Amino acid sequence: MNNIVTPSTPPLMLTIEDNGKHIVANNGDEVLVLLRTNPSTGYDWIATPVNPAVLTEEERTYAVLSNAMGSPNDLLIHYRVTGSGHAHIELQYRRSWENGVAAVQIFTIEIDSREK
């Protein structure tokens, strides 16, 4: 059974270790997803559409971990809970131009939100 994490007032930070979890959140909560990526290889985390009545992706930022060629980066995705209901986050680690090729890794989170 997946863990249920209830965010508090500060943003909820999720990492690859939280893959597959179920979250109960309130309208207005911020959910942050931090994942390692290596765009120099063409791989990146590509999001499938989310339920916009419940969740919106607000921003993506990359943190360079090293200036060495081919070094990985951290990707931080900011989501905001915008309404009551259910949303499914799915991020696929793959090359965007390789259609029909399975993702190397898939990160998923289930979110049920409610009014405060």
Residue range 49-72: average pLDDT?
Answer: 88
CATH number at residue 69: 2.60.40.2020
Q: What integer pLDDT is reported at residue 6 of this predicted model?
A: 57
Structural domain count, the chain:
1
pLDDT at 65 over 80: no
4-44 confidence digits (pLDDT tens): 555 556 788 999 999 999 999 999 999 999 999 988 889 99
Range of the domain at 53: 4-114
- Going from the C-alpha of 36 to that of each of 10, 79, 89, the distances in angstroms are 22, 17, 17
